[in-house]
């Protein structure tokens, strides 16, 4: 799929051929009207996101977004006529700690869990969460390795397979014929790397060198030297922000590689003002960020910053808001807090099947469901349309470029 950059790009992917049957049987129509008996217990929704550790700064806007969604849900009357009970559990950045945090949410009785921040952590916790019967919805997991991992696992963030095609097209549009790929050596990074290199080669861009790094590395000299020696037209980073600053410092600051020839993944884009000796090293670096249209994004960013003034980056915040909202809508559509039952409604209410009525807020969607109608929820990030593997198939890709002061702005 070839899509050229503009102010807002929409990639719509056809549903995959592989069909995973969610919990047996066909999906019932969403929205049972007012005749069904409403569950007596409150809907319990937990979030499993990092508040401490290496991923904490990147996950902070997601924590804020989930809380804002809960505020909106409860302001509109909640779920089952009661406020949603909400608990945020610190996953930290360690998978073992995340497993313990997930167990705390399970013991609490979570009906649905929003999270985790990273795809590798999601792979570590999805089994105990979903085997306990809870729905799991992420707004930031992008690894293609998670496709079809559980009938109870959904995500409102697009897969890396989609983003790698976007990045490859951008390099071609910029006239690049060779590229080095620096990638994070974990479940997420390896899957992204495979897709990225495949899309580059299909686009006619030679992979000059492919350099992995481990997340516990502190010296990236070997990777940067290998990239410089390969003399590529471009460098693509597939890495989290927390690990990238030191490599940018060496690549651009020390070796004088042109920053305009550097490209970030959506997980790489972020705030580097505290990790670079000169923020101007970032000037001209480009990246796509899946999310809301610019005006909607700016409005939501302002609301999130009002809630948490310390926020300076907002990647995956809007999609985490959408993940929280659609989990609550799924419970209303199913008239049940049971994760397996909710899962059978998710594709329809997202617009991935059926012919539901479009709605864009929790309050409006809730009213339609309570009136016995089916819905197609389009959130802050636009359409969602889960496919048979529970992956999102309607995605806005917004192009950004870094400025000399280290901030990134919408590409004109």
Q: What is the pLDDT of residues 298-318, one digit of tens each?
A: 999 999 999 999 998 898 999
What's residue 313's pLDDT? 86
- Whether the link from the prior residue into 116 is cis, omega within 30° of 0, is yes
Angle at 323 between CA 322 and CA 325, to 5 degrees: 65
Average pLDDT over residues 262-278: 94
Query: Which helix H or strand E contains 320, and what residues bound it?
Result: helix 317-334
Say if residue 216 is exposed, middle or buried (CB neighbours under 10 Å; 0-12, 13-18, 19+): exposed
The CA R_g of the chain, rounded to the nearest whole Å, is: 21
Confidence of residue 194 (pLDDT cuts 50, 70, 90): very high
Residue 201: CA count within 13 A, CB half-sphere: 10
CA dist 230 and 207 (Å) reads: 10
Query: Does residue 2 or residue 139 have the better pLDDT?
Result: 139
| Mean pLDDT, residues 118-141 taken together | 97
Weakest-pLDDT range from 14-18, 27-31, 40-44, 127-131: 14-18
| Predicted pLDDT of residue 36 | 74
Strand 394-402 and strand 408-410: the pairing is: antiparallel
User: What's the pLDDT score for residue 41?
Assistant: 96
Instruction: Please indicate whether residue 4 or residue 412 has the higher confidence score (pLDDT).
Output: 412
The mean of the pLDDT values for the chain is 91
Q: Which residue has the tokens 């409005």?
A: 299
With 50 as the cut, is the pLDDT of residue 6 above it? no
User: For residue 352, what pLDDT band results from cuts at 50, 70 and 90?
Assistant: very high
- What domains are defined for the chain? 34-157+315-394 (3.40.50.2300), 162-284 (3.40.50.2300)
Secondary structure percentages of the chain, helix, strand, coil, to 5: 40, 20, 40
Q: Which among 184, 339, 194, 190 is positioned nearest to 268, based on CA atoms? A: 184
Cβ-Cβ contacts under 8 Å for 310 (sequence gap 6 or more): 60
Phi (first) and psi of residue 256, to 5 degrees: 60, 30
- pLDDT tier at 9, thresholds 50, 70, 90: very low
> How far lies 217's CA from each of 93, 133, 212, 223, 235, in Å?
15, 37, 11, 11, 20
Please state, for a pLDDT cut of 70, what percent of the chain lies above it: 92
Record the tokens describing residue 111, joined without a space: 């009906």
Residue 159: CB atoms within 10 Å: 25
Q: Give CA–CA dist 237/265, Å, rounded.
A: 6
Span 246-271, mean pLDDT?
A: 97
| Tokens linked to 140 | 């930031």
* CA proximity to 271, closest of 291, 297, 242: 242
Assess whether pLDDT exceeds 80 at residue 20: no
Alpha helices (H) along 350-408: 362-370
Tell me the pLDDT band of 35, cut-offs 50, 70 and 90. low
Q: Which residues in 41-55 are b (16+ Cβ under 10 Å) and which e? A: ebbbbbbbbbeebbb
| Predicted local confidence at residue 396, as pLDDT | 86
* Residue 131, C-beta contacts closer than 8 angstroms, at least 6 positions apart: none
Nearest alpha carbon to residue 206 among 163, 171, 238: 171
């Amino acid at each position: 799929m070839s899509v050229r950059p503009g102010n807002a790009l929409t990639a719509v992917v056809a549903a995959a051929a592989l069909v995973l049957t969610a919990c047996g049987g066909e999906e019932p129509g969403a929205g049972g009207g007012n005749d069904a008996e409403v569950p007596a217990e409150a809907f319990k929704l937990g979030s499993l996101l990092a508040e401490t550790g290496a991923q904490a700064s990147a996950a902070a806007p997601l924590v804020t977004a989930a809380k804002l969604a809960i505020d909106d849900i409860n302001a509109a009357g909640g779920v089952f006529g009661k406020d949603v009970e909400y608990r945020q559990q610190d996953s930290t950045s360690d998978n073992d700690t995340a497993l313990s945090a997930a167990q705390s949410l399970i013991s609490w009785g979570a009906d649905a869990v929003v999270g985790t921040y990273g795809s590798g952590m999601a792979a570590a916790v999805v089994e105990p969460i979903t085997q306990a019967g809870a729905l799991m919805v992420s707004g930031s997991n992008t690894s293609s390795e998670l496709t079809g991992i559980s009938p109870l696992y959904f995500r409102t963030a697009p897969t890396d397979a989609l983003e790698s095609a976007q990045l490859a097209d951008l390099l071609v549009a910029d006239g690049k014929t060779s590229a080095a790929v620096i990638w994070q050596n974990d479940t997420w990074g390896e899957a992204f790397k495979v897709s990225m290199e495949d899309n580059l080669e299909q686009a006619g861009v030679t992979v000059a060198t492919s350099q992995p790094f481990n997340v516990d590395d502190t010296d990236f000299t070997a990777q940067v030297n290998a990239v410089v020696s390969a003399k590529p037209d471009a460098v693509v980073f597939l890495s989290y922000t927390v690990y990238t600053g030191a490599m940018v410092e060496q690549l651009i600051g020390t070796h004088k590689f042109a920053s305009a020839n550097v490209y970030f993944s959506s997980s790489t884009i972020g705030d580097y003002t505290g990790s670079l000796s000169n923020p101007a090293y970032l000037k001209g670096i480009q990246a796509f960020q899946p999310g809301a249209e610019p005006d909607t994004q700016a409005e939501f960013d302002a609301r999130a910053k009002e809630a948490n003034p310390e926020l300076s980056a907002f990647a995956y915040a809007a999609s985490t808001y959408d993940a929280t909202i659609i989990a609550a809508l799924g419970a209303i559509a199913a008239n049940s807090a049971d994760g397996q039952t909710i899962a059978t409604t998710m594709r329809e209410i997202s617009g991935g099947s059926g012919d539901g009525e479009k709605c864009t807020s929790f309050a409006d969607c809730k009213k339609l469901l309570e009136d016995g109608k089916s819905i197609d929820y389009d959130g802050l990030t636009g359409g969602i349309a889960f496919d048979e593997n529970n992956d999102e198939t309607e995605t806005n890709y917004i192009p950004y470029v870094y400025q000399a002061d280290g901030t990134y702005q919408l590409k004109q």
